[in-house]
């Protein structure tokens, strides 16, 4: 009988409005470093791909898709 699952239904959560606002502000501020890290990763990938394209002269694969500066 101890291992039988029990169903629970939550009908209401009482939170003050300003507690929710403070939580959302903290959440927004905590996301800023994560966005900076993701931006650095995408910039590194972009630079890495552009370096590989230039190293192996694969610019013809991107004709009309990405405008590369002239050599």
Q: What torsion do the CA atoms of 48, 51, 56, 61 make, to the nearest 10 degrees?
A: 80
Residue 48 resides in a domain: yes
Per-residue confidence in pLDDT tens, the chain, 71 aa: 578 888 999 998 899 999 999 999 999 999 999 999 999 999 999 999 989 989 998 878 877 776 667 77
Give the structural domain span for 24: 17-52
Residue 38 resides in a domain: yes
Residue 58 resides in a domain: no
Residue 33 resides in a domain: yes
Residue 43 resides in a domain: yes
- The tally of domains found in the chain comes to 1
Q: What is the pTM of this model?
A: 0.59
The Cα–Cα gap between 7 and 27 comes to 31
Q: What torsion do the CA atoms of 54, 56, 61, 63 make, to the nearest 10 degrees?
A: 30
Q: Contact 58/52 with Cβ under 8 angstroms?
A: yes
């Amino acid at each position: 009988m101890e291992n039988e699952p029990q169903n629970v239904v939550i009908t209401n959560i009482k939170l003050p409005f300003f507690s929710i606002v403070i939580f959302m502000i903290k959440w927004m501020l905590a996301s800023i470093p994560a966005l900076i890290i993701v931006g650095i990763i995408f910039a590194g990938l972009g630079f890495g791909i552009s370096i590989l394209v230039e190293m192996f002269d694969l610019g013809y694969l991107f004709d009309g898709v990405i405008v590369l500066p002239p050599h």
